[in-house]
A and B are shown apart, each in its own frame.
Chain A
Amino acid sequence: MNSLIKFIQKYSNFLVFLLLEVVAFMLLVSNREYPKSYVLSSANRIAASHYERVQHIRSYFDLRQVNTELAAENVRLRNQLVQYANIAEHELEQPTYQYSHLDYSYEPAKVVHAITNQQANTLTINKGRRDSVYQGMGVCNGDGVVGIVASVGERFSVVIPMISVQSHVSCMFAKNNYCGTIEWLGNDIRHVQVIDVATHVDVAEGDTLVTSGLTAVFPSEIPIAVVEKAIIPQGASYYSISARVLPDFKRLNYVQLIRNNAQIELENLQHESRP
């Protein structure tokens, strides 16, 4: 017993060092995929309210740009409205809207903090459990898909954006509905990679990638990215595609949360049908 105490006294430095490093690595490993704990992420109240105050001041500088974007979105929405009105007039017998669109609703949120210069990037938004945000909610803005909610605090949440190495978003080509997956390589925040697209698919520069609607996170046909370069590597059976993302992640201000109204039902159903 005496020798044990002596040993601890002699190596107390090293033991404390070891203990603290083990704690750090345990935290690191348990939060590897995404910040699971909102207390230890920027979704916690102290950090997030600080960022909110900073963002509040900063947002004044972006007003002009935000106005232009809102005007552009207004035009786009008006055009869509006209299209839907036409559909309602002419094709009432054969509704062309997709049923799935009805199950989603949009809610506004504001980005209070954005980390975009790391490999594991994150956004913090000012909506949380209080506003019934749930983990796995889709996030988009007027331009297209932004990311997916990863952890939810009382008033704030952390979003994993598309430009994060942890992010995988299922997508499809708007013109022929072929599906693929979007990944980020970790260095260029304007471009993402599209993987799992077989070489027989017709891919050209300028093709638009949209959400596939295969998962419950996003409704189908929200724009994601535009193909910039598509090559077939020597002897490969899949394309190597680089696409430009539509939202400007450096200057994200307002985003929309996409609530899947059938989320609970869908989850229960998938849970029940699991063997």
Chain B
Amino acid sequence: MKVVRDIIFLVVVILLQILLFNNLSCYGLCHPQVYLICLLAMPLTLRREWEMLIGCALGLVMDIVSNSVGIHMAACVLVMFLRQPILNSLVQNSERLTSAVSMATIREVAYIQYALILIFTHQAVVSMLSTFGFAHVGWMLLQILISATVSAVFILGYNLFQR
């Protein structure tokens, strides 16, 4: 039953991302990537290679719907690569995390740190790869800051709400 619930959650998040969050535009500065919540919540039961492949697949789906082949894929693979080391450094006995990673299963502070680091990393990669070159560095930094903050508000908000 839990698997079905997780799959429905994944589908709903992807649809929300495609239909709602991808259409936000605040002079092109605000592109929240809330689908990251699915990657952040994955339990630590899979091998890292498999996690990266799953990240790659989800990134590819996002790329196909937003015509940006490679960008989300690269960012998601990086996030999945960094996830386990970050969790290991923030949480003791992280190998016991066999259920979804959320504020309910690890300390709030640890979850906030873990989520913020990965959200900002992901947004930085996406923004750097999608702004062509480094001609508008200031604009790009502003985009990273605003988009990542909005994503973090939604992802952390959802976690608080769930708790």
A residues with a Cβ closer than 8 A to B are: 12-13, 16-17, 20-21, 23-29, 31, 35, 37, 40-42, 44, 47, 54, 115-120, 122, 124, 158, 165, 186-189
A-B residue pairs in contact (CB < 8 Å), sample of 18: A24-B71, A24-B74, A25-B74, A28-B70, A28-B129, A29-B70, A31-B69, A42-B65, A44-B64, A117-B25, A117-B31, A118-B68, A119-B28, A119-B130, A120-B68, A120-B130, A120-B132, A186-B28
- Would B68 and A17 count as touching, CB distance under 8 A? no
Q: How far is the CA of A17 from the CA of B81 in the complex (A)?
A: 7
Residue from the list A20, A47, A187 in contact with B65, Cβ < 8 A = A47
Q: Out of A21, A124, A189, which one reaches B78, CB within 8 Å?
A: A21
Does B66 have its Cβ within 8 Å of any Cβ on chain A? yes
Contact of B131 among A17, A31, A158, A186 (CB under 8 A): A186
User: Chain B nearest CB: distance from A36 CB in Å?
Assistant: 9
| Contact assessment for B52 and A17 in the assembled complex, using a CB-CB cutoff below 8 Å | yes
Highest count of chain B CB atoms <10 Å: which of A16, A42, A187:
A16
Smallest Cβ distance from B51 to chain A, in angstroms?
10
- Whether B69 contacts A27 by the Cβ 8 Å rule is yes
A253 to B89, CA, bound (A): 51
The minimal Cβ–Cβ distance linking A16 to chain B, given in whole angstroms, is 4
Please determine whether B130 and A27 come into contact, CB atoms closer than 8 angstroms: no
Contact across chains for B23 and A12 when beta carbons are under 8 A apart: no
The answer on a CB contact under 8 Å between A21 and B68 is: no
Once the chains are docked, how many angstroms separate the CA of A249 from the CA of B21? 18
List 19 extra interface pairs beyond A40-B69, A120-B68, CB under 8 A.
Answer: A13-B52, A17-B78, A20-B73, A24-B56, A24-B74, A27-B73, A28-B71, A28-B129, A40-B60, A40-B64, A117-B28, A119-B130, A124-B67, A158-B67, A186-B131, A186-B136, A187-B136, A187-B139, A189-B28
